[in-house]
Structure 1
Amino acid sequence: MSLLRRLPLKYRLPLIHGGLEAIAAPRQVRWPKSDDLRQGPLIVSGFFNESLGVGRAGRMTADALESAGYAVGRHDLRPCFRHIPDQKAVLPGEGGVWLIHANAPELLVALMTHRPEQWRHRYRIGYWAWETPLAPPLWARMVRWLHELWTPSAYVAEALAAGLRAQGLDDLCGRLRVMPHPLMAPPPSPDRARFGLSPDRCEVLSLFDVNSSPARKNPWASIEAWLKAFPIPSPAAALTLKASSLDSATQTRLSERIANRPDVRLLSERLSDEDMDRLMASVDIFLSLHRAEGFGLGLLEAMNAGVAVVATEGTGNDFLAPDNGYPVTARVVQLHDPDGPYSALRHDPAQVWAEPDLDTAAGILQDLVADPVARGSKMAAARATPARLNQRWSLEALKAHDFNRWLDS
């Protein structure tokens, strides 16, 4: 296992996913072809104890359901991975609704580590995010085992629908539901001193996770746009690149590019959800020149904190508009992820993403750094955006879903 972890993602993920499918294949033969659904509790499974983006999103989903008045049983998925050989993972309760807030490969683990008697009586909902226009075949095949599939954006829903159609599973497209990530938390308090940020300059933040593909998150574009905007370091502004899961190769490449730039720093400290919220609230501008997003939770969190958002237009972050932020124009290019998780995708003309215009981004940065009034001009609309998206999570909206039929009254 330690050797597997050292492999690049482009080799590691196909090995892991292929291995899981091979282990699951003889078990799937015995999986029930029809369900005997019964009423029971609402169980939400996710990576609740981890700082991963999918873990944070799972916690937000459980929080939103509780805020709407549902009794939620939280079930951590990570221990299930220990039960791949013996299928002895245990789900709490019986019947009811099982919402698995994890992507298709992890759903496969959840189903194959719990004996079918534990889940055949439950109404099953998946919550997935995918970041290219065509979801992989494994993802399409796994929809068969769900009654509903929630996605954070219309972009992801269409990617999954395209994947289903490519596998001849058009009839399953009706199971897709768009449920934007809920953000119920009040705006966090800033703490510039905690993160070494100056009270006297414009602080800009860009986030990326190496495991989510540096090519997709595209920190290089944030750096290049910054250097275009400020060819000479300015005492009036600084850029912080917050990296997660940073590997030595990416760190070396980043360090070389920002060498001799005291106005650009790399922050790789592991932060809790609370500290990430404080960091976001402590800056003036959030910069995300990504090539694709399934949703763009960081953008929404920045809006909630009253931070000006400069980000690539399109893909899943369709809530970003000229009235609440600063969309950066982009052109469509063929997907190219040489070392990340998307490198395993077969070449397909449908697999494209966005290339942000760096001159446009640089011009926006120059204007915002020079004008604090402009940075605050869209704050009211930005802060109203989470509440607008949260309407899908109101009790009235949730009660319209079929899953309510299988909950204890």
Structure 2
Amino acid sequence: MPSKETPGPQTILVVGKWGEVEFVMLRQLFQFIRAPYLHSLIPEGRRAFPDRSQLNIEVVGFHSLSVGIGVSARLCAETLAGAGFNVNCRDVGKVFLKKPELAWSWRSRIADDRINCRIFHLTPSMLPRAVFSIGRRKFESTYNIGYWAWETDLLPQESQLAVRYIDAILVPSRFTRDVFRKYTTKPVLLVPHPVAVGSVEKNIRDMLAIGPDDFLASFVFSFGSSFERKNPLAVVDAFNRAFAHVDNAHLVLKSSHGRQYPYELARLQAAIGLSPRIRLIDDIWPTPRVMGLIAESNAFVSLHRCEGFGLPIAEAIALGVPVVATDWSGNTDFCDPDNTCLVPAGETTVDTFHPEFRALEGARWAEPDIDQAARCLKAIFDDPKAAKKRAVRAKAFMERYLAKHTYPSAMDELQSAGSTRYAQDRAEA
């Protein structure tokens, strides 16, 4: 007679892991078959960068989603429009069967036949579907730019395939720039994400029942951005080492899309255990509420293994919050080494079931020093006034860096003689 006993947590974990492995294997097989064919159908553009007086830009991306790639698309559009560029937005969420997560709208509309430049805030693997939804002829008639972040020293196959038909690449960090330049001679320009905090919700501590004088550390991430890469288990570990016997210290992990990754969610819940001082909030929050959580924190912690940029880290710095972050990859561009707690890290081979990274044999990323991260947290706890003073200097450092590399300056550079000659040479080839 079949047992009516409800499966325990261990059974759930095993089933979740097996399901994930099957999914990754099937997705990799599909990508292996699909990628070369679909990318080969996309024509290579042969158009010079438009003159500024005639430039009509369309920003293509997930404008109505809360994920980082959606944030980057919105920041791009808002920054260019604020600088006086003609900007249209194309939300491709429906093309990818994504339900809107944010109430979003764009104030202007440019006719399709007037658009002569597109900036794609999508991963290279997403480009074929987006291009086909726009139309190959329309794609071929415009100057096409990929805004791409990447986090390891090797590029996936689909990124290499997409480089062929993109006219130029914008990247958020020197780390990503150096990786792409190993694979192409096309323009690869550094444009960090604009850091715009915007509205900040108040009284988040009251909502979470955390006292005004208690110590609060926070971390914000999406399960969809690779659990191993974001490394929240290390944040929990560092917090526990720093505050094993401190009752008035709290850690809030603000995540999203955890239900889509049940195995990883269960691992994180198991690491947290029954601790009343560590809280996992897996939900879609409006941006002002997320900013409010960070703003009311005494420290923001990111012990990532790699970052293409690290937007939540930059937002914490912009809010004047002391930061503890891995000394590795994109965030090192804007983290002041003298006033940010940069955690040393060794190199290790990438080990994850995430499909974007799984096929990268030999790729490397960081393994942060958990003990040093714990010491950084304890130092902020012991002397919060000194930590705040360093955070003010860290903010000034980041602002100076971001001011040097902007979307308008990238548009000017693409319009320069060198970029135009590049496009003309291709047209004559």
- Give the match for residue 315 of structure 1: 329
Deviations along 1:330-364, whole A, 9 cap, x unmatched?
11111111x2234522422xx11111111111111
Pair 1:332 & 2:347 matched = yes
Task: Check 1:196–1:62 CA distance in 2 against 1; reply closer, same or farther (3 A cut).
Answer: farther
Please state if 1:227 is matched with 2:240.
Answer: yes
Could you say if the C-alpha distance between residues 296 and 73 of structure 1 is closer, same or farther in structure 2, counting changes exceeding 3 Å?
Answer: same
User: Contact (CA 8 Å) 1:36, 1:121: kept in 2 or not?
Assistant: no
List aligned pairs for 1:166-181, cutoff 5 A. 172-181=184-193
Cross-structure match for 1:158:
178
Q: Name the residue aligned to 1:85.
A: none
Residue 41 of structure 2 aligns to a residue whose secondary structure is helix
Q: AA paired with 1:128?
A: W
d(CA) in 1 for partners of 2:410, 2:361:
40
Change (3 A) 1:395 1:126: closer
Shift of 1:95: 4.4
The code of the aligned residue for 1:211 comes to G
**Contact persistence 2:189–2:410 (CA under 8 A):** no
Within the candidate set 255, 263, 269, 2:269 is matched to: 255
Deviations 1:192-233 (A, max 9, x none): 22344321201000222211111111111111111211223x
- 1:188 alignment counterpart: 200
Conserved? CA contact 1:157–1:177, under 8 Å:
yes
> 2:307 maps to what in 1?
293
Q: Return the letter of the residue paired with 1:126.
A: G
**Would you say 1:213 and 2:226 are equivalent positions?**
yes
Q: Does the Cα contact within 8 Å between 1:236 and 1:369 map onto a contact in 2? A: no
Aligned residue identity for 1:102:
L
Q: How many residues align?
A: 380
Aligned pair in 2 of structure 1 residues 158, 388: CA closer, same or farther (>3 Å)? closer
In the alignment, does 2:156 pair up with 1:143? no
- The code of the aligned residue for 2:348 comes to V
The Cα shift of 1:248 comes to: 2.5
Letter in 1 for 2:285: L
Name the CA distance, whole Å, in 2 between partners of 1:36 and 1:156.
25
Q: How far apart, CA to CA, are the structure 2 residues paired with 1:161 and 1:24? A: 24
User: What is the CA–CA distance in structure 2 between the aligned matches of 1:300 and 1:191, rounded to whole Å?
Assistant: 22
Over the matched positions of the two proteins, sequence identity in percent amounts to 28
Alignment check: 8 A CA contact 1:68 1:393 kept: no
* Alignment partner of 1:65 is 2:80: yes
Tell me the residue number matched to 2:405.
392
2:335 alignment partner, SS class: coil
Show the 5 A alignment for 1:396-407. Answer: 398-402=411-415
Q: Once superposed, what is the RMSD of the aligned Cα atoms?
A: 2.7
| 1:42 partnered with 2:57 | yes
| Code of the aligned partner of 1:125 | I
Distance 2:414 2:49 in 1: 16
Cα 1:381/1:35, change in 2 over 3 Å: same
Match of 2:5 in 1: none
Q: Give deviations 1:254-284, integer Å, cap 9, x for gaps.
A: 2222223211111112112222112211211
Could you list the per-position Cα deviations for residues 282-314 of structure 1 after superposition, in whole angstroms to 9, with x for gaps in the alignment?
211000111111111111000011111001002
Residue 92 in structure 1 maps to residue 92 in structure 2: no
Q: Does 1:279 align with 2:299?
A: no
In 2 relative to 1, CA 80–364 (structure 1 residues): closer, same or farther, beyond 3 Å?
A: same
Alignment partner of 1:131 out of 151, 168, 189: 151
Contact residue 167 and residue 186 of structure 2 kept, 8 A: no
Shift of 1:93: 3.4
Query: Quick one: structure 1 residues 73 and 343, their matched pair in 2 at CA, closer, same or farther if it must change by over 3 Å?
Result: closer
Deviation, structure 1 residue 23 = 5.9
TM-score (norm 1): 0.85
1:357 is aligned, of 359, 369, 392, to 369
Alignment match, 1:302: 316
Read off the aligned partner of 2:207 and give its amino acid letter. R
Equivalent in 100, 109, 132 of residue 112 of structure 1: 132
Cα distance 1:40–1:306, how it changes in 2: closer, same or farther (>3 A)?
A: closer
Kept after mapping to 2: 8 A contact 1:155/1:294: yes
Query: Quick one: structure 1 residues 341 and 394, their matched pair in 2 at CA, closer, same or farther if it must change by over 3 Å?
Result: closer
Distance 1:25 1:154 in 2: 27
Could you tell me how far 1:108 is from its partner in structure 2?
Answer: 2.1
Summarize the Cα distance change of 1:236–1:352 in structure 2 as closer, same or farther, 3 Å threshold: same
Cα gap change, 1:278 to 1:293, in 2 (>3 Å): same
Provide closer, same or farther for how the CA distance between residues 323 and 254 of structure 1 changes in structure 2, counting only shifts above 3 A: same
Does the aligned pair in 2 maintain the 1:310–1:328 contact within 8 Å?
yes
1:78 is matched with which residue: 93, 114, 118? 93
| Distance in 2 of aligned mates of 1:331 and 1:268 | 30
The answer to whether the 8 Å contact 2:217/2:297 transfers is yes
CA distance in 2, matches of 1:190, 1:375: 22
Superposed displacement of residue 10, structure 1: 2.7
Q: 1:69 to 1:105 in 2, by over 3 A?
A: same
Does structure 2 conserve the Cα–Cα contact (< 8 Å) formed by 1:258 and 1:264?
yes
Alpha-carbon distance between aligned partners in 2 of 1:33 and 1:65, rounded to the nearest angstrom: 23
SS at 1:378 equivalent: helix
Alpha carbons of structure 1 residues 377 and 397: separation in structure 2 relative to 1, 3 Å: same
Which residue of 1 is the match for residue 257 of structure 2? 245
Match of 1:375 among 384, 387, 402: 387
Amino acid across the alignment from 2:358: A
